[in-house]
């Protein structure tokens, strides 16, 4: 899929585990094939018109009447058209509001490219790169196209921040009305054709492909205009990032991918094997938070001679011992709305037993719920809590933070989607379904102590200054990797 001409705007083709459910559809296919080999009659209920047709075509499957395809396809087509139309209006508005910010970036500046996180500020702190801008006074910051223009303007008060929108062309934005991911005929006629058609229909049923195209357009024009010495960003090997690597390489610009939060065994978007052009779409250097994640990325195919350990810019050690068996349960909500809803339901059920529960919403994805005497909202992060009895998480960094803080950690499993494991191989949280959560919490015990340094590392400021401060960097013996 990644070799197709339009694939660079697709989450599916980039193996985006959070942006596409194509992998879940493949899982259903494999499961049904296994049932066929067992030669035991099994009834499979499926109301998805694309998946039904795929399963019906498998050898040994006897299928009934397929669900209607045309209404589902038409609904997504209409939804996609409206989504792209609304997106175009938003993009032109963002371009107009952020264009005056362009002057803060000059040719040759080193820059970090980051998402619009409300935890960032104009006083030198960035939610993805911590205090790096305070440490490197010449470093510039560029906001990803997901950043609302008002937030970008607020952050630009530092005189060093601009928005990628400002380098876009509003006439190009108008062309996005027809922007879609269009898999080639050999793919949609192949053995997984119905699943690929489904993935394309769902992606094109929103503004995702058009937004990816705008991001690629804006970052390319920024690179050509500013020609920064170096560009670094939170790396996950998504579609727009692969394009950024190619664009930077073509312009002779150093590209640096800094590990984005946590990486686990299910996050196949990090796999270099999924890049059809191999290392050409991988940053020149990939910086890990610590040794555990360096090894994780090496397992996903990143060459060890490109890997460095730069330390954990985003993680803090707990200021004090925060485990308290009589303390509240802490529930940090996922960025995925459906998963967050499951977590809130879990929190509601546990709080109904009289046990106090603190719920912290994701900073970028608010989630409304009704508070009670035992169910409270908190804005205090896990490591700054004063006493917790356990943590129930689903995605994000909270599971790692809990285990490193010596707290019992439970990974809540959803029944309708793959529950992505984001922990490194050396750490394990207790997987639990909603029905078994109360019993699991009753048996909760603190995990075996884990040395912080085995997973994360202190920040190597000399490395960061060498990479983004203008001086050439020569890795220290502890950072140099052998093939």
Write out pLDDT tens, residues 391-406: 999 988 889 889 988 9
Same domain? For 248 and 297 the reply is yes
Confidence of residue 417 (pLDDT cuts 50, 70, 90): confident
Alpha-carbon distance 421 to 431, whole Å?
A: 9
Q: Tell me: pLDDT of 165 over 60.
A: yes
Cβ of 264: how many Cβ atoms within 10 Å? 18
Residues 338/18, Cβ–Cβ less than 8 Å = no
Query: Phi/psi at 39 (nearest 5 deg)?
Result: 55, 40
What average pLDDT score do residues 219-229 get?
Answer: 96
The rounded percent of the chain whose pLDDT value lies above 90 is 77
Confidence of residue 481 (pLDDT cuts 50, 70, 90): very low
Same domain? For 438 and 476 the reply is no
362: in domain: yes
pTM of the predicted structure, to 2 decimals: 0.88
Alpha carbon dihedral 212, 214, 216, 219, in 10-degree steps, equals -130
Q: Tell me: pLDDT of 341 over 80.
A: yes
Alpha-carbon distance 131 to 75, whole Å?
A: 46
Residues 183/152, Cβ–Cβ less than 8 Å = no
Q: Tell me: pLDDT of 65 over 90.
A: yes
What average pLDDT score do residues 322-328 get?
Answer: 92
Domain count, the chain: 2
Same domain? For 355 and 408 the reply is yes
Sign, CA torsion 238/239/240/243: positive
322: in domain: no
What average pLDDT score do residues 9-22 get?
Answer: 90
Alpha-carbon distance 387 to 321, whole Å?
A: 8
The larger pLDDT score, comparing residue 481 to residue 318, is at: 318
- At residue 336, the pLDDT reads 87
What average pLDDT score do residues 187-208 get?
Answer: 97
- At residue 427, the pLDDT reads 86
Same domain? For 9 and 119 the reply is yes
Task: Residue 159: name the closest of 117, 92, 100, 119 by CA.
Answer: 100
417: in domain: yes
pLDDT in tens, 119-138: 999 999 999 999 999 999 99
Same domain? For 246 and 390 the reply is no
Cβ of 106: how many Cβ atoms within 10 Å? 9
Alpha-carbon distance 456 to 263, whole Å?
A: 12
The larger pLDDT score, comparing residue 17 to residue 118, is at: 118
Could you list the beta-strand ranges (E) of 244-327. Answer: 254-259, 285-288, 307-309
Same domain? For 107 and 231 the reply is yes
Alpha-carbon distance 148 to 482, whole Å?
A: 42
Same domain? For 472 and 387 the reply is no
Could you list the beta-strand ranges (E) of 95-207. Answer: 111-114, 140-143, 161-163
Instruction: Give the angle 284-289-294 at the CA atoms, nearest 5°.
Output: 60
CA distances from 332 to 241, 380, 446 (A): 28, 10, 18
- At residue 475, the pLDDT reads 40
Alpha-carbon distance 12 to 285, whole Å?
A: 25
Same domain? For 278 and 333 the reply is no
Residue span of the structural domain in which 22 resides: 1-312+456-483
Beta pairing partners, 258: 234, 287
What average pLDDT score do residues 250-274 get?
Answer: 91
Task: Report how far apart the first and last C-alpha atoms of the chain are (Å, whole number).
Answer: 30
Confidence of residue 472 (pLDDT cuts 50, 70, 90): very low
Q: Tell me: pLDDT of 357 over 80.
A: yes
71: in domain: yes
- Give 432's Cβ-side CA count (13 Å radius): 22
Sign, CA torsion 298/473/155/171: negative
CB crowding 448-477: b at 16 or more within 10 Å, else e = eebebeebbbebbeebbbebbbeeebebee
317: in domain: no
Same domain? For 277 and 151 the reply is yes
Alpha-carbon distance 135 to 478, whole Å?
A: 22
Question: 3-class SS at 178?
Answer: helix
Alpha-carbon distance 81 to 396, whole Å?
A: 32
Same domain? For 414 and 303 the reply is no
Alpha-carbon distance 75 to 206, whole Å?
A: 11
- At residue 320, the pLDDT reads 66
Residues 162/173, Cβ–Cβ less than 8 Å = no
Residues near 48 by beta carbon (within 8 Å), at least 6 away in sequence: 67, 198
- At residue 322, the pLDDT reads 87
What average pLDDT score do residues 330-336 get?
Answer: 93
148: in domain: yes
320: in domain: no
- At residue 12, the pLDDT reads 95
Distance of CA 151 to the CA centre of its chain: 20
pLDDT in tens, 54-63: 999 999 999 9
370: in domain: yes
Confidence of residue 470 (pLDDT cuts 50, 70, 90): low
Same domain? For 160 and 257 the reply is yes
Distance of CA 297 to the CA centre of its chain: 15
Structure tokens at 342: 């499951």
Number of helices (H), then strands (E), in the chain: 16, 13
Q: Tell me: pLDDT of 319 over 80.
A: no
Same domain? For 219 and 279 the reply is yes
């Amino acid at each position: 899929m990644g070799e197709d001409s339009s694939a660079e705007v697709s989450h599916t083709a980039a193996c985006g585990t959070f942006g596409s459910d194509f992998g879940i559809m493949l899982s259903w296919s494999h499961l049904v094939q296994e049932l066929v080999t067992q030669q035991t009659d099994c009834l499979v209920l499926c109301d998805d018109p694309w998946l039904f047709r795929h399963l019906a075509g498998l050898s040994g499957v006897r299928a009934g009447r397929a669900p209607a395809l045309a209404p589902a396809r038409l609904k997504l087509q209409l939804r996609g058209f409206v989504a792209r139309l609304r997106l175009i209006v938003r993009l032109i508005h963002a371009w107009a509001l952020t264009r005056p910010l362009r002057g803060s970036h000059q040719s040759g500046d080193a820059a970090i490219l980051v998402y619009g996180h409300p935890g960032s500020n104009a006083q030198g702190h960035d939610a993805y790169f911590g205090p790096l801008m305070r440490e490197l006074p010449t470093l510039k910051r560029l906001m990803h196209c997901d950043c609302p223009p008002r937030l970008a303007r607020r952050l630009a008060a530092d005189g060093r921040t601009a928005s990628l929108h400002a380098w876009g062309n509003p006439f190009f934005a108008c062309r996005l009305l027809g922007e879609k991911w269009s898999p080639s005929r050999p793919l949609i006629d192949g053995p997984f054709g119905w699943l690929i058609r489904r993935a394309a229909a769902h992606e094109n049923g929103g503004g995702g492909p058009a937004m990816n195209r705008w991001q690629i357009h804006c970052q390319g024009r920024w690179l050509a205009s500013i020609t920064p010495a170096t560009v670094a960003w939170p790396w996950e090997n998504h579609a727009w990032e692969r394009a950024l690597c190619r664009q930077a390489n073509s312009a002779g610009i150093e590209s640096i991918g800094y590990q984005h939060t946590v990486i686990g065994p299910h996050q196949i978007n990090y796999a270099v094997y999924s890049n059809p052009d191999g290392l050409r779409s991988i940053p020149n250097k990939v910086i890990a938070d610590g040794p555990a994640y360096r090894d994780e990325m090496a397992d996903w195919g990143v060459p060890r001679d490109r890997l460095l350990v730069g330390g954990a810019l985003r993680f803090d050690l707990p200021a004090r011992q925060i485990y308290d068996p009589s303390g509240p349960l802490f529930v940090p909500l996922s960025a995925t709305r459906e998963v967050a809803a499951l977590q809130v339901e879990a929190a509601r059920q546990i709080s109904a037993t009289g046990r106090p529960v603190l719920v912290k919403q994701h900073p970028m994805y608010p989630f409304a719920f009704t508070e009670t005497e035992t169910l409270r909202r908190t804005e205090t992060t896990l490591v700054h809590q004063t006493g917790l009895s356990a943590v129930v998480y689903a995605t994000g960094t909270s599971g790692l933070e809990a285990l490193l803080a010596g707290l019992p950690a439970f990974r809540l499993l959803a029944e309708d989607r793959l529950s992505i494991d984001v922990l490194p191989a050396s750490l394990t949280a207790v997987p639990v379904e909603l029905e078994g959560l109360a019993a699991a919490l009753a048996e909760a015990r603190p995990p075996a102590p884990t040395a912080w340094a085995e997973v994360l590392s202190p920040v190597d400021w000399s490395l960061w200054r060498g990479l983004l401060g203008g001086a050439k960097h020569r890795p220290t013996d502890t950072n140099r990797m052998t093939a």
